[in-house]
Amino acid sequence: MDKTIQGTSSGSAGKIRVLLVDDSLLVLELLTRMISTSPDIEIAGTARNGKEAIPKIELLNPDVVCTDLEMPLMDGLELTSYIMQNTPRPVLVVSSVVDQTRDSANVFALLKAGAVDVHQKPNLMNNEDFHKAARELNSKIKVVAGVYIFKRKPASDRVATAPLNIQQRKGRFRAVAIGVSTGGPQLLAEILPGLPKDFSMPVFVVQHISDGFIQGLVNWLDKNCALEVKIAENWESPKPGVIYFPEEQTHLTIERGGRIFLSKDPPLDGHRPAVDLLFSSVAEYYRDSVVGIILTGMGKDGVKGLHRIKSRGGVTIAQSEESCVVYGMPGEAVKTGAAVKVLSPSEIIRELIIFDQLNKNHHG
């Protein structure tokens, strides 16, 4: 990240203080009720648009700003850009995606501007749905608030990475598998467009993201990548130069002769799709010819699977701490020895291009 997100003052009894920005009074009331169910979060204030929010940010100094996208006078994109340039702090986009092409492009433009994550705006709901949605929103706010807690090491303190004797490889690299969570859309929009249009491997990506946004993410990336980016189809045979995402609430694995298998099996450690399932399956099928990459995100999903890839002789990469929004998943991969290399996003692109060129040289 180019901009360092600084911590802000704590609320009463160490609570996370949130400023809500939305032009709908009904939405503000609903979000306030939802957040009020958490003992760890409090509402610092509300605003009806970005122009109204700016002086409140200066006055109230909230830990997190939750903003809608479309608002009068100053929309969420302008507000996010202002915050990142003048008073950096975590921004969570809370928005509805109505038109997958138009709205999602705008939502992900906010992420590119510096917002940390996106969350689907709640609808009017029954009591059971309300409490489930409240738990999900409050959990997301806690993750976003924790972004600035992760200390960033100077480059000189980076973990040493083991050299790869790739020049001595006898076989080709056959696939790339990527696991990512919080901060992922922005990072994928940096890494994936760096791959050439004749890239010689399929790329499988599991991105943890709120329901309602995965198709928009795929559309957004597809417009900005030389490679085709698509939602995977069940029993599809992966093709080189195509980037595959599972549909929301669906596990993606590689099974039976290398075909894609999608399932609605229960979440694994709270995740569906789960990075661990993708990584474990590519380790079994591709063995030493797969590259596993674990990127920014909270928790440990993908670490066990990355160990499986490493044990089969595959290449394992973790994102460097100083380039992460949240160093949870990559940090666990480094700490447990699952990652052979620790790289920045630009270094990851360079590494993948090297592997691609080795494939082409090998084929030639």
Tens-level pLDDT at each residue, the chain (364 residues): 444 444 444 456 689 999 999 999 999 999 999 999 999 999 999 999 999 999 999 999 999 999 998 999 999 999 999 999 999 999 999 988 644 555 566 778 888 888 999 888 887 666 668 888 899 999 999 989 987 433 334 443 444 454 455 545 556 899 999 999 988 999 999 999 999 999 999 999 999 998 888 988 999 999 999 999 999 999 999 999 999 999 999 999 999 889 999 999 999 999 999 999 999 999 999 999 999 999 999 899 999 999 999 999 999 999 999 999 889 999 999 999 999 999 999 999 999 999 999 998 876 5
8 A C-beta contact, residue 65 and residue 57: yes
What token pair was written down for 306? 């990355």
Q: How high is the pLDDT of residue 125? A: 63
3-state DSSP helix/strand/coil percent for the chain, to nearest 5? Answer: 45, 20, 40
- Among residues 353, 357, 21, 7, the alpha carbon closest in space to that of 191 is found at 353
Q: State the DSSP code for 288.
A: G
Domain ranges of the chain: 12-149, 163-363
- Say whether 163-363 and 12-149 share the same fold: yes
Position 169 scores a pLDDT of 54
Task: For residue 251, indicate whether it is catalytic.
Answer: no
Please tell me which residue in 208, 251, 271, 307 is annotated as part of the active site: 208
Is 301 an annotated catalytic residue? yes
Res 108: pLDDT: 82
Question: Which residue type occupies 359?
Answer: N
**Partners of 94 in the β-ladder:** 119
Determine the pLDDT at residue 103: 59
Q: What b-and-e string marks burial along 52-89, b requiring 16 or more CB atoms within 10 Å of the CB?
A: bbbebbeebebbbbbbbbbbeebbbbbbbbbbbeeebb
Whether residue 273 has a cis bond before it, omega within 30° of 0: yes
Catalytic option among 181, 210, 281, 289: 181
Residue 336, pLDDT score: 97
- Residue 150: the pLDDT is 35
What is the CATH class of 163-363? alpha beta
Q: Region of 114 please: left (phi>0), alpha (psi -120 to 50) or beta.
A: left
Within 10 A of 319 (CB to CB), how many other CB atoms are there? 30
- CATH tag, 12-149: 3.40.50.2300
End-to-end CA distance of the chain: 38
Q: Which entry of 22, 276, 301, 356 is annotated as an active-site residue?
A: 301
- Please state, in angstroms and rounded to a whole number, the distance separating the CA atoms of residues 269 and 136: 15
**What is the residue type of 352?**
L
pLDDT score of 3: 42
Quick check: is 208 catalytic?
Answer: yes
Which tokens sit at 295?
Answer: 């990127």
